[in-house]
């Protein structure tokens, strides 16, 4: 899937910049991409989120900031094609869930 689409999809799905906490809103994906594309996009977004959440940062980092930075750095290494805004959205979600 196109990296620009995936970057935008992660941002939309998480609610980054739009909601006070991670939202993971499938309806927003449909509104943004249409029903057909949203199905494939959602599957890939969830896969990428699972990869991000496979980080051990939640167990190893000393604080939330370090946790988010470590998990984001690991993700960037394996997925350089994903834009920084999406990486930040995933880090925001990750630190929110493990606070």
The per-type count for the chain, helices as H runs and strands as E runs, is: 6, 0
**Sequence-distant (≥ 6) Cβ neighbours of residue 71 within 8 angstroms:** 52, 53, 55, 57, 58, 90, 91, 94
With 80 as the cut, is the pLDDT of residue 1 above it? no
The per-residue pLDDT for 99 is: 82
Average pLDDT of the residues in 52-68:
93
Residue 51 burial (CB count, 10 A): 14
Average pLDDT of the residues in 46-64:
94
Question: 71, 51 in Cβ contact below 8 A?
Answer: no
pTM value is 0.94
């Amino acid at each position: 899937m196109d990296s620009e689409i995936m970057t935008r999809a992660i941002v939309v799905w998480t609610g980054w910049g739009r909601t006070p906490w991670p939202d993971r809103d499938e309806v927003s994906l449909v509104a943004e991409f249409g029903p057909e594309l949203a199905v494939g996009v959602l599957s890939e977004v969830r896969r990428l989120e699972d990869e991000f959440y496979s980080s051990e940062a939640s167990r190893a980092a000393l604080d939330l900031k370090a946790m988010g930075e470590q998990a984001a750095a690991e993700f960037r290494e394996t997925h350089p094609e994903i834009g920084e805004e999406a990486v930040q959205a995933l880090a925001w979600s990750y630190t929110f869930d493990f606070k």
